[in-house]
Structure 1
Amino acid sequence: MNTSSSNKEDYLKAIYENNGVDAYVPNKILANTLNVSPASVTEMVEKLQADGLLDYKPYTGAKLTETGRNHTIQVIRNHRIIETFLFEKLGYSLLDLHRLSEEMEHIKDTVFFSKLYHFLGEPKTCPHGGIIPTETHYNELYTTPLTSYIPGQTVTLKRVVDTASLLEFLASINLQVGDKLTIQNKDAFNEIISFTINDGQTVFHINEKQAGMLFADK
């Protein structure tokens, strides 16, 4: 897989993870997720639309076409099966999973991934909480971002977007999928959300850009 193709697949995965199967994902969200400029997003989504992988509407965003969805499902399925194996069987951390899975997801052996999936017991989700998709079951199970909750609410972290910068932050505060978060404050002016973890006393802070890539459930 050359660099250009890998870069395109990063965009497709980001669109998928932000509910781009059913809805248009704004360029701003893609820019935040991928840590790139809005101009770069526009350039790439136009290329992907020309390839028939996206339906792109200026000022609205991008949505996967059926062709794009099927291609992305296969890449994400491979990626998340590898992640699950590395995490459950080899003990890699969530942060370390990212790089290795990116390298291994492009193996062109469908039998390998099928055998590995059955070996793992056919898990429903990966260590980051994302669904391990099939052609018929591909919508993410958890789609409500942390930004949707208000001070005083306690929620369970169910899914995180698989990006290196976000995973580094989560590792730095020891926040993991399955932890309970209690929202303490939302500073709209500075776009900061404050929370505690698992009824602890330490208050942590996250910006709304990062919080939009964490998905929780009551």
Structure 2
Amino acid sequence: MAENKISENIEEYLEVLYRNGSNKEQVSTTKLSKELGIAPGSVTQMLKKLEKLGYIDYTPYKGATLTDEGMKIAQKITRKHRILEKFLIDVLKIKEENVHDQACEMEHTLSDEAERALCAMLNNPDVCPDNNIIPACNFDFDSCSQCYSQKDFDQIVNRQFNLLSISELTSNTEGVVSFIRGDSVLLDAISDLGIKIGSQIKYNPNENQMGNYFVRIDGEELSISLEMANNIFIRI
């Protein structure tokens, strides 16, 4: 499970890129500069460095998009941040106005093993206190129940591809359902609709109505709730 240590500064850049372009939308240098509180010239230099490292694709005067490798790192640090926010508010009862900064400090040192334990303790949360999606873990499981059944953390391997929940998709997308998050009640409800690991999915965000998400699963059109859309992940 060991990985090369990535600097906190790089993680912060990738986290902001993910927050503004999780579906690989291009994020402008100006946007990054404002969110990070860093001069545009310095941001440009860092983007050039991140491109050399293979974490982003950078277009001068336009902005940057995450590569698959950059997405993997960005999702991981974003997941830790949002799980920590949930823990700090729901369990430790930290004042909401203090939570973001504390989570920022803690996210870089939280181990994968501790993150997994927090997720289990919090019952697989799908959103943070700000209602932003908590990305899927990068462990190679089809469901949370599979994760629970593996007691030895050292035997867990990482997934080799990235995932996005249906509710995170911002453009027409086709893919394969590769992870379903949640407790047995939610998993059973999703299964009852005929949605399972390996299902072929087509999604057009413009078809959503009244809070419902319309998807085509193995050729059949279905309406699913926001909770389901938050917890059904497709390979991207």
Give the TM-score taking structure 2 as reference length: 0.55
- Identity rate, percent: 35
String of CA shifts for 1:162-201, please: whole Å, max 9, x gaps: xxxxxxxxxxxxxxxxxxxxxxxxxxxxxxxxxxxxxxxx
> Per the alignment, do residues 30 and 17 of structure 1 end up closer, same or farther by CA in structure 2, a change over 3 Å counting?
same
Which of 76, 79, 88 is the equivalent residue of 1:77? 79
> 2:44: which partner in 1?
42
Equivalent pairs, count: 140
Matched, 1:67 2:94: no
Q: Give, in angstroms, the shift of residue 89 of structure 1.
A: 1.1
Unaligned runs of 5+ in 2: 1-5, 137-161, 171-236
Three-state SS of the structure 2 residue aligned to 1:56 is strand
**4+ residue runs over 3 A deviation:** 138-143
> 2:164: which partner in 1?
137
Q: Give, in angstroms, the shift of residue 94 of structure 1.
A: 2.9
Greater shift in the superposed pair: 110-119 or 68-77: 110-119
Q: State whether residues 19 and 140 of structure 1, in contact with CA within 8 Å, keep that contact through their aligned partners in structure 2.
A: no
Q: Distance in 2 between matches of 1:140 and 1:16?
A: 15
> 1:127: which partner in 2?
129
Three-state SS of the structure 2 residue aligned to 1:80 is helix
Q: Give, in angstroms, the shift of residue 129 of structure 1.
A: 2.2
Q: State whether residues 18 and 25 of structure 1, in contact with CA within 8 Å, keep that contact through their aligned partners in structure 2.
A: yes
User: CA RMSD, aligned part only?
Assistant: 2.2
Three-state SS of the structure 2 residue aligned to 1:125 is coil
Q: Give, in angstroms, the shift of residue 103 of structure 1.
A: 2.2
Give the TM-score taking structure 1 as reference length: 0.59
Q: Distance in 1 between matches of 2:102 and 2:29?
A: 27
Q: Distance in 1 between matches of 2:23 and 2:39?
A: 23
Q: Give, in angstroms, the shift of residue 33 of structure 1.
A: 1.1
Matched letter for residue 104 of structure 2? E
Matched letter for residue 72 of structure 1? A
Unaligned runs of 5+ in 1: 144-218
